[in-house]
Structure 1
Amino acid sequence: MTLKIKVYSDYVCPFCFLAEQPLEQAIKGKDVEVEWMPFELRPYPNETLKPEGHYLQSTWKQSVYPMAERMGIDIVLPCVSPQPYTHLAFEGYQYAKEQGKGNDYNDRMLRAFFQEEQDIGDIGTLTKLAGEIGLDEKEFRDALETRKYKEVHQQALKHAYEEAKITSVPTFVIGETKVAGMHSKETFEQLIDDEMKRQTPDIAEGMMCGIDGCEIE
């Protein structure tokens, strides 16, 4: 039975980007299906953060950069100021998912922002990035300009906020187990193994006898 993993993330969360590596390592060779789920940390009209501000500078210096260095991952605090809203990028994700490229799109958005400092709140930038992973640029741009996937995205957010009760990202729902924050490959492997064992039904071992006699199962 395929184990389903849902990853709730936002494209402006550096730990969501860093979490890709240990998760990918942990699921390698396993019967696992990963689905990335939208979560906006600061939806419009809330103010987004500015990279020159003390909060981001301090967080990156104390936590993000040291962690990325230990993991061997290139990452940079993007100079885009203020940070972009991510609703359009997530509406694009819904289009990409329909085309079977949801996970590729998700990875491209994170890398574009945290390694290339691209403005993922801009339709032109999003369209170019979509084209890079093989999506039809005209269809993609039309979908964003007409807000074709606005309602789908809003429903996804409602699910995250109200049904899944997500309060921070990244959050992983591995089978029936919810775990928030960054974790090592080994931790993910243990969680996955535990869930796979939990989902495997007990199988009778052929012929047997019980108190009422013998039978073949």
Structure 2
Amino acid sequence: MNTPALRVDIWSDFVCPFCFIGALRLEQLAQQRPLDFHWHAFQLRPAGSPPMDAAKRKMIAEHTPKLTAQMREEFGLDIARGPLDIDTRAAHRLFAAAQATAQGAAVHDALFRAYWLHGQDISDPAVLGAVAAKHGFDGTAAISGSDTASEQSVAADVAQAAQYGFHGVPAIVFGQKYYVSGAQPLAVFAQAAEKAAAESSL
């Protein structure tokens, strides 16, 4: 008897290091048990945010060597972070549009990797357009915002995060019951998934 895939809802932003780490660990968990990922948009620095101050930039710079070492040790990846202080709304819209083409998961991963491994500006329409083209679809309308469906999808995700009281990401809900905050160790994710799956089978 096949084990049904457990639904996992994740609110995240592509420029959040903990979101990328969390995504990679969730992919590891998916090698152990079937999971049905539902990614939701969250913006750490939406349009209109004040410029990132010097103290925040210094803190990020000081944390980068630790992050670099962690990514290399745990995942074998060398990071090259994209620019700070960017608006990721268009990237989230592109992902929303990609889901209608069955390329959602691949585009989601590509956006993380474009920013964290290739140092690209994922607010740049040219960068986003290249991601879309590589995955076989035209993302022009989603990137520009003229595609109302993708914009509405992002707006709904952001509103739902606010309704749930999520102030930081990643925010992960296993089986629509168990909430886990942050890029927790794989064992924590596995435990939450096990509990959610056990309850759903009752």
Common fold by TM > 0.5: yes
What is the TM-score normalised by the length of structure 2?
0.87
Aligned ranges 1:139-178 → 2 under 5 Å: 140-148=139-147, 149-162=150-163, 164-175=164-175, 176-178=177-179
Looking at secondary structure, tell me which structure has more helix per residue: 2
Q: How many residues align?
A: 195
- Cα distance change, pair 79–188 in 1 and its aligned pair in 2 (3 A): closer
Q: Which deviations, in whole Å up to 9, do the C-alpha atoms of 1:35-87 show, x marking residues without a partner?
A: 111100111110354899312102223x422322331342435252x432100
- Cα distance change, pair 30–200 in 1 and its aligned pair in 2 (3 A): same
Counting aligned pairs with the same residue, the percent is 21
Deviation of residue 178 (structure 1)?
0.3
- Helix, strand or coil at the partner of 1:131: helix
Match of 1:2 in 2: 5
Match of 2:106 in 1: 104
Match of 1:215 in 2: none
- Helix, strand or coil at the partner of 2:49: coil
- Cα distance change, pair 23–146 in 1 and its aligned pair in 2 (3 A): closer
Q: Determine the C-alpha separation between the residues in 2 that align with 1:92 and 1:115.
A: 19
| Partner amino acid, structure 2, of 1:58 | E
Give yes or no for contact 2:120–2:127 (8 Å, CA) kept in 1.
Answer: yes
Q: Which deviations, in whole Å up to 9, do the C-alpha atoms of 1:132-173 show, x marking residues without a partner?
A: 122x23xx11332253132332122101111x3211111110
Give yes or no for contact 1:15–1:64 (8 Å, CA) kept in 2.
Answer: no
Q: Determine the C-alpha separation between the residues in 2 that align with 1:113 and 1:50.
A: 21
Q: Determine the C-alpha separation between the residues in 2 that align with 1:48 and 1:100.
A: 36
| 186-195 vs 108-117, greater mean Cα deviation | 186-195
- Cα distance change, pair 145–79 in 1 and its aligned pair in 2 (3 A): closer
Give yes or no for contact 2:128–2:143 (8 Å, CA) kept in 1.
Answer: no
- Cα distance change, pair 29–53 in 1 and its aligned pair in 2 (3 A): closer
- Cα distance change, pair 190–146 in 1 and its aligned pair in 2 (3 A): closer
Q: Determine the C-alpha separation between the residues in 1 that align with 2:145 and 2:192.
A: 41
Q: Which of 1 and 2 has greater Rg?
A: 1
Match of 1:71 in 2: 74
Which of the numbers 60, 73, 79 marks the counterpart of 1:56?
60
- Cα distance change, pair 147–48 in 1 and its aligned pair in 2 (3 A): farther
Give structure 2 stretches of 5+ with no counterpart. Answer: none
Match of 1:128 in 2: 130
| Partner amino acid, structure 2, of 1:47 | P
Give yes or no for contact 1:48–1:84 (8 Å, CA) kept in 2.
Answer: no
- Helix, strand or coil at the partner of 2:77: coil
Q: Determine the C-alpha separation between the residues in 1 that align with 2:159 and 2:91.
A: 17
Give yes or no for contact 2:90–2:142 (8 Å, CA) kept in 1.
Answer: no
- Helix, strand or coil at the partner of 2:10: strand
- Cα distance change, pair 174–141 in 1 and its aligned pair in 2 (3 A): same
